[in-house]
Chains A and B, each alone.
Chain A
Amino acid sequence: MTSVEATLESSAKRSLLSRLRLNLPFLIWVSLLWLIAMLLVAVFADQMRPYAITKMDLSARMAAPGTPGHLLGTDDLGRDVLSRLMQSIRVSLVIAFGATLLSAVVGTGLGFLAAQFRGWVEGAVMALADFQAALPFLIMSLAVLAFFGNSMVLLVCLMGFYGWERYARIARGLAISASAQGYAGAVVQLGATPARVYLRHILPNVASTLIVSMTLTFPEIILMESGLSFLGLGVQPPQSSLGNMVGFGREYLTQAPWIMLAPSFVIVMTTLSISLLGDWLRDRLDPTLR
């Protein structure tokens, strides 16, 4: 049922895009600029942030945004929100980026294996995909974290399993149809090795679909990681991520809402930008639409 869902989702996205085409260039510019800014922040967080993330200033606790020296204010311990935000952006983006790549590589690889070998390999991959779809990812992550305890490496690996089954299903389906009657079968017939068939032909042909999938999972992983961190089960202090900033800021919702609003805004803007950009990208990547 999830494969049906995936196609539905993609057709939903397609129609969404055509509807927004009028405003697209402007929105795409904004998204792009925002993502570039986030990327720069992630890379240069150490150089850019005004204070160390743990530097406390008990005399200036919960200073409002706009306070001289603290553009976005300070938190309950007088730590600079802007500095912490920059570090959080770095941590969250690194986790999401690593995890997205991991899940795309794992999923696509397993999907191709299933398509190439069929038989029990395919059965095993599909059974695992069923299992993944049957268990809500958040719940599975919670269980793993409960059993193994928290660690950054575990968190990235765990997030790296997010959505692998979608890639696996897409990659397997497209590879099988390409081999049965299509171009891949033709190239095999020319005498190409499986490596060439998959890397030179099938991968470029499914890449646009996979990239669209990645633009869908990337924001979802950000949301998943921040959700876990928000619940206090993801990134642990003293390290900081967007989700755990919101989680801690929640305690001071009434007195100092900016602690929680700043990271929330970043989360929403980032996921929104990637989604919009993903739509736009898919159209660009398809030469038959050019």
Chain B
Amino acid sequence: MLRHILSRLVRSFLTLMLVMTFAFLVLRLSGDPALILLGPDAPQDAINAFRERWGLNDPIWKQYLAYLVQLLTLEFGVSMRDQVPALDLVLSRIPATLAITLPALLLKVGLGIPAGVYAALHRQSIADRGVITLSILGFTVPSFVLGLLLVLVFAVQLGWLPSGGQEGVEHALLPILTLSVGGIGIMARFARSAMIEVLGQPYIRTAMAKGLSWRSVVWKHALPNAAVPIVTLLGFMIGSLIAGAAVVESIFSWPGVGRLIVTAVANRDLAVVQALLLVIASSMIVANFLVDLAYGLLDPRLRSRRAAH
């Protein structure tokens, strides 16, 4: 198990290195970083100083190493637009994003999994059909359409909720709703198909043949086994907590990471984009890593197989 954790750690680290390399390549391929970062109107002195400062006259591999060292020491440069360290800017926006994505995640889990399990146990019922319909909508209705429709109904027509801003809880309701509706459906469908798959297994029939009550079959045998695929999806959802709100935050003028990405990209504020890239990739990688650990704990088969190897 320890070996497995270590090898996953190394793999995660390699993936992170790849992300960094990607950022480096894109930055170098797109032109002279001095001109991009300082702007086309920068005086020649400043450009020369910048080149000297960041070693842009060195061979490319040296630049790459210097770049890696710079990133590993969490030095991401300064935001061109706001003149504050890029990483600080990104970190300061994370709470706002979590304030809407976390409740949305809780809704997805808290409503999605029970609904999926219920649908699996009561197939062909109205609830089952509802879960399927909602999941189809979750896959096909883009969040910007859903968000705007919600604004149209609840803010414009009914006037119940504000359409944007961040003053209080009521401002967060529509963003949270937009983020969670589709996800609830998708989560429910995963839970449903995982449950159906497990319920079809021979050991469930064995458990029932032993005379166990339906309730204890579901709770003791089916649910723990259905948990593995659900955790996969959950990990993915957790990983995208920070990144998942770019569109929604833009619609509702919510001052989180998502909106920061969009404005940074629109302004070509590259130091910020770079910092965002690494923060988001790190959060995804950490989530993947945790999911892998959770697998080991949830599935004794996996645990022993890995130990045997």
* Distance A264 CA – B30 CA, assembled complex (angstroms): 34
Interface residue stretch chosen among A100-108, A113-121, A229-237: A229-237
Interface residue stretch chosen among A80-88, A128-136, A175-183, A282-290: A128-136
Task: Decide: B273 and A135 in contact? CB cutoff 8 A.
Answer: no
Quick one: given A139-B277, A226-B142, A253-B156, are A8 and B265 in contact (CB under 8 Å)? no
Residues of chain B within 8 A of A219, CB atoms compared: 139-140
* Distance A227 CA – B22 CA, assembled complex (angstroms): 23
CB of B232 within 8 Å of the partner chain:
yes
Chain A interface, number of residues (Cβ within 8 angstroms): 52
Task: Decide: B196 and A131 in contact? CB cutoff 8 A.
Answer: no
Shortest C-beta distance, A141 to chain B (Å), equals 9
Task: Decide: B19 and A246 in contact? CB cutoff 8 A.
Answer: no
CB of B23 within 8 Å of the partner chain:
yes
A-B Cβ contacts below 8 A, count: 171
Looking at the complex, which one of B261, B264, B265, B277 makes contact with A135 (CB distance below 8 Å)?
A: B277
Residues of chain A within 8 A of B174, CB atoms compared: none
CB of B262 within 8 Å of the partner chain:
yes
CB of B229 within 8 Å of the partner chain:
yes
Looking at the complex, which one of A128, A135, A149, A264 makes contact with B280 (CB distance below 8 Å)?
A: A135
Task: Decide: A15 and B15 in contact? CB cutoff 8 A.
Answer: no
Task: Decide: A142 and B142 in contact? CB cutoff 8 A.
Answer: no
Counting chain B residues whose Cβ lies within 8 A of the other chain, the interface size class is: 35 or more
Residues of chain B within 8 A of A247, CB atoms compared: 144
Quick one: given A8-B194, A139-B246, are A1 and B232 in contact (CB under 8 Å)? yes
Task: Decide: B292 and A143 in contact? CB cutoff 8 A.
Answer: no
Quick one: given A8-B232, A231-B250, A253-B156, are A1 and B291 in contact (CB under 8 Å)? yes
Shortest C-beta distance, B263 to chain A (Å), equals 10
Shortest C-beta distance, B15 to chain A (Å), equals 5
Interface of B is mostly: helix
* Distance A1 CA – B264 CA, assembled complex (angstroms): 31
Residues of chain A within 8 A of B265, CB atoms compared: 142-143, 145-146, 233
Quick one: given A139-B277, A146-B268, are A267 and B152 in contact (CB under 8 Å)? no
Task: Decide: A260 and B235 in contact? CB cutoff 8 A.
Answer: no
CB of A11 within 8 Å of the partner chain:
yes
Residues of chain B within 8 A of A143, CB atoms compared: 23, 26, 265, 273-274, 276-277
Task: Decide: A271 and B232 in contact? CB cutoff 8 A.
Answer: no
Task: Decide: B135 and A146 in contact? CB cutoff 8 A.
Answer: no
* Distance A253 CA – B240 CA, assembled complex (angstroms): 29
* Distance A19 CA – B132 CA, assembled complex (angstroms): 9
Residues of chain A within 8 A of B129, CB atoms compared: 19
Q: Which of A147-178 contact B (CB under 8 A)?
A: 147-149
Task: Decide: B148 and A250 in contact? CB cutoff 8 A.
Answer: yes
Q: Which of B258-273 contact A (CB under 8 A)?
A: 261-262, 264-266, 268-270, 273
Please give me the 8 A-B residue pairs with the lowest Cβ-Cβ distance, nearest first.
A147-B30, A146-B265, A271-B140, A131-B18, A12-B193, A264-B145, A136-B243, A272-B140
A-B contact pairs, 19 of them (CB 8 A): A1-B291, A8-B194, A12-B190, A12-B193, A15-B193, A16-B189, A19-B123, A19-B129, A133-B284, A135-B280, A142-B246, A146-B265, A146-B273, A223-B142, A243-B144, A257-B156, A268-B140, A275-B139, A275-B140
